[in-house]
């Protein structure tokens, strides 16, 4: 279990990362160009990741054919013994 220190350390890391991003970000007229470039890079990486997932999916389905298929409990094989109960 996580203790209280991990939450505090995580919060400090996030605050330091936000502070570094604010200090290192461009100010003035170049800010618009930096934000536009960041959005274009983000979108292109998302598109590349989606296309990569489409390419890898058939390979994974061949290697692991039963992964991701839901088998209802009524259809699942039962491993109980088939002995009948005694009626009293």
pLDDT per position as a tens digit, 35-82: 788 889 999 999 999 988 888 888 877 887 776 666 556 655 555 555
Predicted confidence at residue 30, as pLDDT, reads 72
Predicted confidence at residue 85, as pLDDT, reads 57
pLDDT confidence bin for 21, thresholds 50/70/90 = confident
Q: How far apart are CA 40 and CA 12, in angstroms?
A: 29
**b/e sequence 6-40, b meaning 16+ C-beta within 10 Å:** eeeeeeeeeeeeeeeeeeeeeeeeeeeeeeeeeee
pLDDT at 12 over 90: yes
């Amino acid at each position: 279990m996580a203790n209280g220190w991990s939450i505090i350390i995580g919060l400090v890391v996030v605050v330091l990362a936000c502070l570094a991003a604010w200090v290192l970000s461009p100010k003035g007229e170049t800010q618009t160009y930096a934000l536009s470039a960041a959005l274009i890079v983000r979108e292109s990486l998302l598109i590349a990741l989606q296309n990569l997932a489409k390419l890898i999916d058939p390979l994974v389905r061949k290697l692991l054919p039963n992964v991701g298929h839901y088998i209802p409990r009524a259809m699942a094989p039962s491993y109980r013994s088939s002995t009948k109960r005694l009626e009293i």
